[in-house]
Structure 1
Amino acid sequence: MTKLLRISAGQYSAKGLKNINQDFYGLHIPKNHALQTKGISVAIADGISSSQVSQEASKAAVKGFLNDYYSTSESWSVKTSGQRVIEAINSWLFAQTSRSQHRFNLDKGYVCTFSAIVFKSSSAHIFHVGDSRIFRLHNDTLEPLTDVHRTVVSSSESYLSRALGMGARVELDYSIVDLELGDTFLLMTDGIYEYLDNKALGQICADFRGDEQGAAEHIVNAALKNGSDDNVTVQVMRVAELPEKSAVEAYRDLNLLPFPPALHARMQFDGYSIVRRLHASARSHVYLAVDNDTNEQVVIKTLSSELRESAEHIEKFLLEEWIARRVNSAHLLKPCEQARERHYFYVATEYIEGQTLAQWMVDNPKPTIAAVREIIEQIAKGLTAMHRLEMLHQDLRPENIMVDSTGTVKIIDFGATRVAGLQETYAPLRENEILGTAQYTAPEYYLGEYGTVLSDQFSLAVIAYHMLSDRLPYGIKVSSANTRSAQRKLKYRSVLHDDLAIPVWVDDTLKKALHPDPLKRYDAISEFVYDLRTPSTGFKNRTRRPLIERNPVAFWQGVSLSLFIIIIFLIKTYIIVH
């Protein structure tokens, strides 16, 4: 049986000597695949005593985080998901104060401390701002994992330096720690840790191991007994079971459906009628089929029989459908929604009636620059949709792009895509492997570096260059340039030639997007696409002819005026002196 992450939890809170409890806490343990893709979340917040509404801030912060975190894209990393949700909560709290009578006095507004942990796979992701605390009991040693964000004025006076709702932006601490079986995490407000030392807290956790609820209640009561005059809240989280570190387990069950039999024309298969085979390679077989329920044409893709024992290739095959289901763009391949149960291991996608960009380039050896721009812009839209969800395509090439009968361009292959959210869930089977095609792969991959959105920009620019010139910007030298010194020697070959009227500024745009150093490319693909249509300001400034060439009369008039002013100045100076 597959092992899943399991946390044994205990939580307890009391108002103590206060009239109201301004602390708030929560825990969410999802079911099914969300446990693997998003993890278990726990959060605690503490309102400030000077405010009569900070308990509302604490409640909103914890509930908002536990709800909204699971609404973020599964492809986002925990860090990105958590930070964006917390930033949104902070903005809402600050807005509430700004619209209230307390807008000029934050001490009475919607302000609270906030600490949270997301347990995902074998890691704990920690988010923190304020003076709540998170500790870990590891090998019988209690260690703090967060700092106290307070400014000390004197031995008897201090104030919060950071908290949610204090400003339009929040400075958030983030860290990640590896989990070990038996590790115990404690989230607590200052009413606890200011009255119980680490030794006492560690001893209670040890005495109540296996009874985390009992430990939480005992910690609260012990703090009150020791004189705590504040609200007291603690959450005790013990790692009871860790998942096995398997790449494929990250987004599928171990009990795979059976692989399909060999498919052929006129065959009935799992509710489809097979029409013909479209493509076959060493990796997969692709068939045109008709859905018997909807009568729509679809594509059935099966894994090659030679690779069915390979966990690596099963992983890549599954990843393609996973990505296609999570990115909504007209320029990315769309998977089929199946109402009926699937009985075999395969992928069903939309059928695109058209041709690959590679074939389009053969049929259109001398395309107009307008046609090239149109295709590149559509590919860029698909890439941008992926990048927003922290996905890198990593294998952009004409064979992986389709142009349908209406001229719509779609990216169709995601086998090499890297997804930030999944990187946290499993250890990749091959680290830093170059997955793209050599002619279109960015130079940084050959240095053993991880790719970025700038790497996909490079590949897109190579396609644009290839379409315009029928050659590559650096020939075949990029794949052999595996040192920085070798990459500095790469010489860009101008795309300009006699057979096509290409503006000089288009060549300048391609040269920048194709720079071997990713930091010298465009900051965003949108900037590259924009400059393919409009000369950049930098290009205009560099290529602007001097005034003496553009308008000699105006130049000499300016020189004459300058000399006249100088002469007048000299005459006045002479008169004053003498």
Structure 2
Amino acid sequence: MNTQLKLSIGQYSDKGVKPLNQDSYGSVIPKEPQLSLKGAAVVLADGISTSNVSQVASETSVKSFLDDYFCTSDAWSVYTSGLKVLESINGWLFSQTQRSEFRYNKDKGYVCTLSAAIFKASTAHLFHVGDSRIYRLRGEGLEQLTKDHRTWISKEKSYLSRAMGVNLDVEVDYQTVGLKQGDYYLLCTDGVYEFCDAEDVTSLIHANEHDLDEAAKALVQHAIEKGSDDNLTLQIVRVDKLSATEGSPLQQQMEKLVIPPLLQPRQEFDGFLILREMHSNSRSHVYLAKDLEDNSQVVIKIPSVELGNNPAYLERFLMEEWVARRIDNVHVMKAGMQNRKRNYLYSVTEYIEGITLKQWLIDNPKPDLETVRGIIEQVAKGLQAMHRLEILHQDLKTDNVMIDTNGTVKIIDFGGVRIAGIVEAENTLEQDEMQGTALYMAPEYFVGEMISSRSDQFSLAVLAYHMLSGRFPYDTQVAKARTVAAQKRLKYRSVLDEEREIPAWVDQTLRKALNPNPFKRYEEISEFLYDLRNPNPKFLRGPRPPLMDRNPVRFWKSTSFVLALTVVGLLVYLQTK
């Protein structure tokens, strides 16, 4: 049974003894599926007292964070979404100060502190700049989770060492903490925490646990009574129930729709006319269809009825269209238009008239280097579009690359993708089963190490290597190397061949991209593409690969010839004695 994350929030702010309240705060608990995909957001900002416009900075920061965070891609992780939004807000604040009369006196500019918490699945994601604070109250223990960005000159004097809007770039503290039912999280400004001790906080929250707004107000009033001389703002978040969803938010769609029966040509199905079956196996059935609304041709894919009770399979099945709908790139398969309600569980994608790269290689078994470069560069553009959304393909191979009739290369089949935002929404501690094809997979998959964009880079380099040689750099040895020590013993086979015109520096480029150690590969795919076209001076200066790597057959022939001469020489020597 699936249960969603449930939170209770109480908030209160007071100007205190100041004539103007320069604090700002806000919170959003969205409905499903956004709650599972993006989480709930609570944010607080404190304008600096030396500025007459800092309340604009704090109000803008809070409103912009809550508006923009939920507009970021569902595929992005909380960290990426939050950081990009904060960088954007900081840039706007800084530019406002630069355009104003306070450009040379930042203490009077658009500057504020900010603390934000995103509650997603079973984790709290904390972002922090300045000296506002985030606390956690678990049981009777109150713990400060953030560090004040304040530098003390003496016991009486200090200044903010970090804040929003001070510089063009901002350094944001980020951390994650696990949630437990009954936890309280407190976001507060210095006007509150400097005048309330742990005992005050614990007693007043527990005394008003049924009305958190009243609890926040009581703590603020307590701080005022203790002599607080600043604006006071407090937000209290209680974790009432943890999310118990076993899997990603896509499972909600699975539960609402049923698997359709096998389709037949000329059959009308959910507004489509089935034209013919394109492919069928034990896992799915693929049909060419026509949309009856606009007469466009699309591809409809339905899951196998036999796997209807396999949630992991169905989730992967739905992932394909989910990804295709979020990536707008000519080198990535597009999803079909979704302009009407669906009654069954299936996916709709564009129809690509062409052939797979696997078939193309059968028709063109020895492509020249420039043709290979052109295809690899197009595949790379598709991968880069996916990586910008923190999506890893994980199953790049010749079967999953299409070349249409215009020569445009497209990546297809997203059933094995890894999406940062979806992974965060899952509450399972079990590791996903490996996706992909062993011959193309990076070594880190087989030892359970961290997967990154460099893993897709490895698969892309395998694709290039295979197109140039018809072989694989490590054959099946990668899948057999299940320890780091075993992977260090993997031996790269040179792509150079006497019958193919391949420069030695291209071989060195592939060797680097195919290094078993992901940290010794290129940092970015763009670097790999550049070196694939332009000789890297390091490779030109480096020693030439040994003959055994360049041409093993010639090496052993030469070795055998030398040994044969040695034997003949010994026989002649023995006969003359």
Query: Quick check: TM above 0.5?
Result: yes
Cα displacement string for residues 174-214 of structure 1 (whole angstroms, at most 9, x for unaligned residues): 11112222222111111111111111111111011121111
Aligned to 1:31: 31
Cα distance in 2 for partners of 1:428, 1:300 equals 31
Contact (CA 8 Å) 1:36, 1:250: kept in 2 or not? no
> What SS does the aligned partner of 1:146 have?
coil
- Whole-Å separation in 2 of the counterparts to 1:209 and 1:11: 13
Pairwise CA distance, 1:343: 0.6
How big is each residue's C-alpha offset from its partner over 1:416-451, in whole Å with a ceiling of 9 and x where there is no partner? 111111111004585153211011011121222132
What residue is the counterpart of 2:212 in the other structure?
212
Task: Please give the alpha-carbon distance, in whole angstroms, between the structure 2 residues aligned to 1:298 and 1:337.
Answer: 9
CA drift at 1:388: 0.7
Matches within 5 A, 1:160-239: 160-239=160-239
SS in 1 for 2:286: strand
Q: Aligned-pair distance for 1:302?
A: 0.8
Query: In structure 2, do the counterparts of structure 1 residues 250 and 188 end up closer, same or farther at CA, with 3 Å as the change threshold?
Result: farther
CA distance, structure 2, for counterparts of residue 52 and residue 370 of structure 1: 62
The one-letter code of the counterpart of 1:158 is S
1:270 — aligned with what? 270
Alpha-carbon deviation of 1:248? 4.0
- What displacement does 1:170 show? 1.7
Q: Compute the displacement of 1:523 (Å).
A: 1.2
Is the alpha carbon distance of 1:205 and 1:250 closer, same or farther for their aligned partners in structure 2, counting shifts above 3 Å?
farther
Matched residue count: 544
What residue ranges of structure 1 are gaps of 5+ in the alignment?
A: 545-578
Deviations 1:267-296, CA, capped at 9 Å, x for gaps: 221111111111112221111111111111
Residue of structure 2 in register with 1:542 after alignment? 542
Quote how far apart the aligned CAs of 1:21 are. 0.7
TM-score normalised by length of structure 1: 0.91
Asked if 2 retains the 8 angstrom alpha-carbon contact of 1:432 and 1:449, the reply is no
Give 1:491's aligned residue: 491
What does residue 129 of structure 1 align with?
A: 129
Partner residue of 1:453?
Answer: 453
Paired residue type of 1:381: K
SS at match of 2:317: helix
- 1:44 deviates by 0.6
Whole-angstrom CA distance in 2 between matches of 1:427 and 1:510: 38
Are 2:500 and 1:500 aligned? yes
Counterpart residue identity of residue 480, structure 1 = K
TM-score normalised by L of structure 2: 0.91
Instruction: Supply the distance in 1 between the matched residues of 2:254 and 2:443 (Cα, whole angstroms).
Output: 37
CA contact (8 A) 2:122 2:427 kept: no
Q: Mapping of 1:300-449 within 5 angstroms?
A: 300-427=300-427, 430-431=430-431, 433-449=433-449
Structural mapping, 1:147-158, within 5 Å = 147-158=147-158
1:543 Cα deviation after fit? 7.1
Instruction: Write the distance in 2 (CA, Å) between the matches of 1:310 and 1:220.
Output: 52
Q: Which amino acid aligns with 2:166?
A: M
- Note if contact 1:151-1:159 (Cα within 8 Å) is conserved in structure 2: yes
Q: Distance in 1 between matches of 2:67 and 2:413?
A: 33
Contact 1:37 1:250 in 2 (8 A): no
Preserved contact between residue 131 and residue 147 of structure 2 (Cα < 8 Å): yes
Counterpart of 1:359 in 2: which secondary structure?
helix
2:114 corresponds in structure 1 to 114
Aligned partners of 2:252 and 2:318: how far apart in 1?
8
How many Å separate the matches in 1 of 2:193 and 2:373? 62
The letter of the residue matching 2:535 is: P
Q: Write out per-residue CA displacement over residues 484-507 of structure 1, whole angstroms, 9 at most, x where no aligned residue.
A: 222222222221223322222222
CA RMSD across the alignment: 1.7
Aligned counterparts of 1:311 and 1:250: Cα–Cα separation in 2? 10
Separation in 2, partners of 1:325, 1:265:
27
- Cα distance change, pair 194–250 in 1 and its aligned pair in 2 (3 A): farther
Q: Bigger CA drift: 244-253 or 299-308?
A: 244-253
Q: Is the 8 A contact 1:432 1:448 kept in 2?
A: no
Shift, 1:24, TM fit: 0.7
1:563 aligned partner? none
Could you tell me which runs of 5 or more consecutive residues in structure 2 were left unpaired when the two chains were aligned: 545-577
CA contact (8 A) 1:454 1:521 kept: yes
* 1:288 maps to amino acid: L
* Distance in 2 between residues matched to 1:38 and 1:490, nearest whole Å: 41
Contact between 1:394 and 1:451, CA under 8 Å: does it hold in 2? no
The answer (yes or no) to whether the contact 2:248–2:425 under 8 Å persists in 1 is no
**Residues 56-114 of structure 1: CA distance to partner in whole angstroms, max 9, x if unpaired?**
11112111111111121111110111111112212222222223222222222221111
Q: Distance in 2 between matches of 1:56 and 1:294?
A: 49
Q: Does 1:146 align with 2:141?
A: no
| 1: CA distance, partners of 2:108 / 2:540 | 54
Equivalent residue runs for 1:520-539 within 5 Å: 520-539=520-539
Q: Does the 8 Å contact 1:248/1:314 carry over to 2?
A: no
CA distance in 2, matches of 1:120, 1:135: 18
Kindly report structure 1 stretches of 4+ aligned residues shifted beyond 3 Å: 248-251, 427-430, 540-544
